[in-house]
Structure 1
Amino acid sequence: MASIRFANILLETKPRALHFPTMYYRADVPFRPSGENGAWTLTEGGAVDFTTYFNALSVIKLRRYTRATAYRLHLQVQGAPCSVTQTRATRLGMTPEVLAQTAVELPHTDRWTDVVLDLLDDEQSVLVGFQLASEGVVAMRDAYYEVDIDGDPRTVDLAIATTTFRKESFIRKNMKLVRTELLDADDDISRHLTMHVVDNGRTLDPQESGDPRITISPNENVGGAGGFARGMIEAMEQSTPATNVLLMDDDVEVSPESIRRTYELLRMVNDEYAEAFVSGAMLNIEDTEVMREDTAYIDPELGICMPAKSRMMVSQYLDVVDNEAFDEELSVPANAHRYAAWWYCCIPMSVIRRVGLPLPVFVRYDDVEYSIRSNPKFMTMNGICVWHAKFEIRYNAGVERYQRTRNGMIAQMTTGLAPDFDTFLKGLHRQVDLEMRKFNYTDAELALDGFEDFLKGPKFIEQPVAQERFMRANRIKEQMVPFDELSQQAEDMGLKDFDPERLTRPMMEMDRQRSLQERAFDYLTHNGQRFIPAGSKDEAGAESYAVITHDGWEYPAGAIHGEDIIIAVDWASRKGVIRRKDTKRYREVVKRYKRDMAYFKKHRERLAQEYKDAALKLESVGFWKRYLDME
């Protein structure tokens, strides 16, 4: 039997912790840092509870994933008489249960005093934690959970692989955190951790990391897929080959404690989960307490990515408990495949050696395809997470229309993301249909560009064309203009009373219910674009317009019904675009869509065989070394 220091009690003074302290603790009196060796102090008599997202111990997950046999709490206290008492959370409890029989009572002490609390556990417990209560001013420090395991810890050499493209501020911050909080620490992880920064933008000095265990590799811009492929290769070939590779986006904020807990989890994992992926949750940078996803799946009917859980508020006790007790088998369809996104995903090297490297698809669906190809179990846990920008405020048609269409179809041919390829054909139809209903013919054609590049077969992506095609998609996608220019365009068109500075998000997102007659009209005429002569509205009618969000996923059918002009606005970037109904262009896109579908139906079997035959080559180390010019 061995003991592992698994999780430190995490207390921070960063803005997110100050705004949402209940992610870390709940106190009925002020609880503040006291500036001495990481100590925090209850400033008067009261209690502080740590049954929270970052500071409760997830015994339900440890029982499932590891060889854990017992749990202990360690901490030091100083000051007024106080007590340390275990708490626990069960599935249906509204508040943490305080286990009075576990209380350790301490008299007043002017010296730091060690407290060790053996934690009770049973099958009903989801989380265990603790409460510190005092009669006056008391301080605590160096609090952590220790786990006893059956047998010896596994030897883990963890390599962080992160890909960056001109996001210097994010990556420099994360390198510094890894260096100061992990590599410079005097504990086990510091001797078994490396970091590989793949610099697709070639904007970093390869010598600037400040530690030989952090390498910066200038790389061609081959997207996330190429960057992570190189990181996997470098982790595989480092002086002591990595046992596990933690893939992490560059534009995330991460707590070093999440990395530490990942490392310790891997040391005590049981045989059943030895080759599982550790999937870190994505919390929103903008809405700090919102957990968007920890694993997801491909909807077998729609072919789209869906979170396995509903959104959780990690500052709320009930959501913290539900997050760990949640059973994905109840929410994920039986015929759907789960995956782990690469904003934070730790993969065993044994899996990489067995199933190969990512497909050369630049961005989008690379992580989805890889998880589904690997077919692993997944480990998730409260407190293992990153903060990432919300998807809603970084919509990019170059990614969501071109990359998503092309890569989803490639991955379906090579790996099988959904039960049937027709799922992705329906998805293409929905994308083109949605954009045209909103008069966005440019981005409808962008989706067809992705389809047509897929139709070129695997030899097309074997060549280093990924960057050029992605850059082209971003050049030709619908281009928005700043608000001042948008206002001038609206004025020149005679659109009355349009003032973007007076807009609010609810105004842009507002929709209305359509009548049955209006719904029938929109369906039959494709929002007034077929069976209706161009220019049928009078001049006064043409001056009316609808203002909607530029978010490509939305369809405000009632707001745009009967309009010839749509102003689409992106409130985050303070930009927008004016669209006019164009029946001629509408017919051209429809004609192109039908022509592409006819070609696919004729060549479907050939394409399926070509992609299947090419998969092993495209996923091999030899291919990637040539592709990345590493040989």
Structure 2
Amino acid sequence: MPSFADQPRPADILLQTLTLPDPAICGESDIYLHRDSGVALDLDAGALHFLEGGTAWFDGYMTLFNLGVWTRACHLGGLALRLVGEGRVALQVTRERQIGDIEILVERLVTLDPDGGRIDLTQPLGGTPEHGLPEMDGLLKLRLVAQENAVLTGGAYVATDTAPARDVSLGVAITTFRREAEVAATAARMAAFLDRAGDDLGARVQLHVIDNGGTAVIPDHPRVTRIENPNLGGAGGFARGLALAQDGGFSHCLFMDDDASFQMENLTRTIAFLRLARSDRAAVSGAMVSEACKWRMWENGSVFHQVCRPQFVGTDLRHPHAVAEMELAAARPKPKGFYAGWWFFAFPVAETRAFPFPFFVRGDDISFSLAHEFDTVTLSGVVSFQEDFSAKESPLTLYLDLRNHLHQHLVHPGLEIGAMGTIKVAMRFILRSVVRMHYDSAEAQLEAWEDVMRGPGFFAENADMSVRRPQISALARDEAWREMAPLGPGAPARPGRIRTQLMKFTLNGHLLPFFSRLGGETAVPARERGLIWPVWGRRAARFYDGTGRRGYEVRHDKARFARIMRRALGLAHRWRRAYPALRDAHRAGYAEMASRPFWEARFTPARPPAEATRAAE
């Protein structure tokens, strides 16, 4: 639907639009709205066409309005719903306080107006002109029933009669490494959106494309700048973006991944929230949905408690009940250890106390969030669609995962769990790989444990991972993807309870004699390779991609298992003895490396945009 920034009213601040699907990003219409056969979705025109009696429910993840989040975190003088279109409709706005507790706020016949009619929600919600809207719980949902043939061409929730909003200027940083097509497309879409919105977003926005690969070609635009940077990973790229936000006098910084696709509504909602936020520390964490399954939530924020624990993973965004449960919970205070992923994270520059730590990738976002006391929220519909982490899993990523997990526990006092606690974390990672017969990954994780024991100097010396990365990648022998004979349809069956318990106690047969002859074989799709149950009781497993023609095979190997466990026990002994000194050294090193001077010494001097573009060509 068209942006309401095109026709602002004097005291109105656009909070969120009734967003429709964008086939280039996500075509799952049920995560936006639900409709009967009397409503047609015209994506080209951004409109809904109603036959008489046709009904549309704006109750999806992308279109409901979360009163709990907005009224608790923001100053709202009032709230209204604006609709643009033609034709007469029966309108109903409901408030769902909790699952099953629904009240009707507004119910009336309205004639849609091409100039945008307003339905006031302040008084029905108990707000007053003097005090505005109080803090309250609940989700607002809209239903339209056409009384004649009608068309809806736009809709939005707007803040009315609101005191002057804070000035927001947003320095957006996208870190990219040789994803030329993806980042160029994102930059073009953002530039076009900013041109349409003009000054009506209420914020100054500048996109900095941090090009770690030196190959991106970005069209010239006054609001887009390409910065050539050495390949210092996501940590180094986003450190460069933060430095640019500081130097440019931006009030807020937004980190985004180069492989994330998102609707520009993300910016509309984020900027509105930051303008109206009560707290100077207000920040916005975007959700992530897998490109492979665009109706299933992958992560709506995450909590670091010994390991990473994604919030609301698996929520089916097509079902209003599941979405309501997630959104009602999202309005509550965030748990201890909550952190935001850098596929979409906006935060205040003035409240930044540390720069990213040089993890290269994996763990930099966790560390950054834990080092700050941002008041972070998740906003419904602020989401990125991208390849999920299970698709990216490899010995290298698992090396990086264990390395950062151990480091987080060493440097952040609130995560202190002692020598034995951190040994359990390391053993949990390694045993998960071993029972899945991913011995390459287990060996990479042993390398991670050893590297953390080398002290904080290891991270400084390997900020670009140019030496260590190929060494770890070379460990992937059995787990290297290759062309394989195609597989027929089929999927592993869940094992029974007794078999599951037996496999747990024997580490999937590694403690049973002759298991390599007794266990069965299986084939597992790539989307399930992070799970353990598909390989319980198996002496071999083949993992394959969506085509069924690429994959790899792992086999039970007791000798290799024994070597890995001997080395793990030796490392555990060394870790326990060295732990106090190691913890103190890493904490001192963190203060030095999570700083601007550390990164400035490693940045390539920025070249003018035109010169950088010519160099890329």
**The TM-score by the shorter chain falls in which range?**
0.7 to 0.9
Matches within 5 A, 1:284-323: 284-299=290-305, 303-309=306-312, 311-323=314-326
Asked whether the equivalents of residues 89 and 147 of structure 2 are also in contact (C-alpha less than 8 Å), the reply is: yes
What CA distance in whole angstroms lies between the structure 1 residues aligned with 2:405 and 2:91? 53
Which of 80, 84, 87 aligns to 1:76? It is 84
Shift of 1:529: 5.5
Cα distance change of structure 1 residues 4 and 543 upon mapping to structure 2, 3 Å threshold: closer
Which of 238, 241, 244 aligns to 1:228? It is 238
Cα distance change of structure 1 residues 521 and 161 upon mapping to structure 2, 3 Å threshold: closer
Q: Which amino acid aligns with 1:555?
A: I
Q: Which amino acid aligns with 1:144?
A: A
Cα distance change of structure 1 residues 584 and 77 upon mapping to structure 2, 3 Å threshold: closer
Q: Which amino acid aligns with 2:304?
A: I
What CA distance in whole angstroms lies between the structure 1 residues aligned with 2:464 and 2:404? 11
Partner of 1:158: 170
Asked whether the equivalents of residues 176 and 183 of structure 2 are also in contact (C-alpha less than 8 Å), the reply is: yes
Partner of 1:280: 286
Cα distance change of structure 1 residues 75 and 581 upon mapping to structure 2, 3 Å threshold: closer
Q: Which amino acid aligns with 1:314?
A: L
Tell whether 2:495 aligns with 1:511: yes
Partner of 1:624: 599
Cα distance change of structure 1 residues 25 and 243 upon mapping to structure 2, 3 Å threshold: farther
Aligned length: 583
Partner of 2:612: none
Asked whether the equivalents of residues 84 and 115 of structure 2 are also in contact (C-alpha less than 8 Å), the reply is: yes
Cα deviation, 1:249-298, whole Å, max 9, x if unaligned, reads 1111111011111001111111xx32022111112222212222222112
What CA distance in whole angstroms lies between the structure 1 residues aligned with 2:52 and 2:570? 75
Partner of 2:54: 46
Shift of 1:149: 5.5
Tell whether 2:23 aligns with 1:20: no
What CA distance in whole angstroms lies between the structure 2 residues aligned with 1:465 and 1:246? 22
Cα distance change of structure 1 residues 70 and 570 upon mapping to structure 2, 3 Å threshold: same
The TM-score, its normalising length taken from structure 1, stands at: 0.84
Which of 514, 534, 545 aligns to 1:571? It is 545
* SS, match of residue 201 in structure 1: coil
Asked whether the equivalents of residues 19 and 32 of structure 2 are also in contact (C-alpha less than 8 Å), the reply is: no
Q: Which has the larger radius of gyration?
A: 1
Asked whether the equivalents of residues 343 and 384 of structure 2 are also in contact (C-alpha less than 8 Å), the reply is: yes
Shift of 1:409: 1.5
Cα distance change of structure 1 residues 418 and 51 upon mapping to structure 2, 3 Å threshold: same
Tell whether 2:66 aligns with 1:58: yes
Q: Which amino acid aligns with 1:370?
A: F
The TM-score, its normalising length taken from structure 2, stands at: 0.86
Partner of 2:475: 476
Asked whether the equivalents of residues 39 and 56 of structure 2 are also in contact (C-alpha less than 8 Å), the reply is: no
Asked whether the equivalents of residues 39 and 48 of structure 2 are also in contact (C-alpha less than 8 Å), the reply is: no
Cα distance change of structure 1 residues 291 and 581 upon mapping to structure 2, 3 Å threshold: closer
Partner of 1:493: none
Question: Could you list the runs of 5+ residues in structure 2 that have no partner in the other structure?
Answer: 1-9, 127-134, 607-617
What CA distance in whole angstroms lies between the structure 2 residues aligned with 1:417 and 1:597? 22
Bigger mean CA deviation after superposition, 423-432 or 379-388: 423-432
Question: Could you list the runs of 5+ residues in structure 1 that have no partner in the other structure?
Answer: 488-499
Bigger mean CA deviation after superposition, 598-607 or 244-253: 598-607
Asked whether the equivalents of residues 280 and 381 of structure 1 are also in contact (C-alpha less than 8 Å), the reply is: yes
What CA distance in whole angstroms lies between the structure 1 residues aligned with 2:95 and 2:332? 25
Shift of 1:510: 4.1
Cα deviation, 1:345-391, whole Å, max 9, x if unaligned, reads 11110122xx1101001111111111111132221121111112233
Percentage identity across aligned positions? 22
Tell whether 2:391 aligns with 1:409: no
* SS, match of residue 364 in structure 1: coil
* SS, match of residue 198 in structure 2: coil
Tell whether 2:506 aligns with 1:522: yes
* SS, match of residue 502 in structure 1: coil
Which of 73, 85, 94 aligns to 1:87? It is 94
Q: Which amino acid aligns with 1:103?
A: R
Shift of 1:315: 2.4
Cα distance change of structure 1 residues 443 and 537 upon mapping to structure 2, 3 Å threshold: closer
Asked whether the equivalents of residues 21 and 43 of structure 2 are also in contact (C-alpha less than 8 Å), the reply is: no
Asked whether the equivalents of residues 162 and 249 of structure 1 are also in contact (C-alpha less than 8 Å), the reply is: yes
What CA distance in whole angstroms lies between the structure 2 residues aligned with 1:445 and 1:162? 33
Shift of 1:484: 5.3
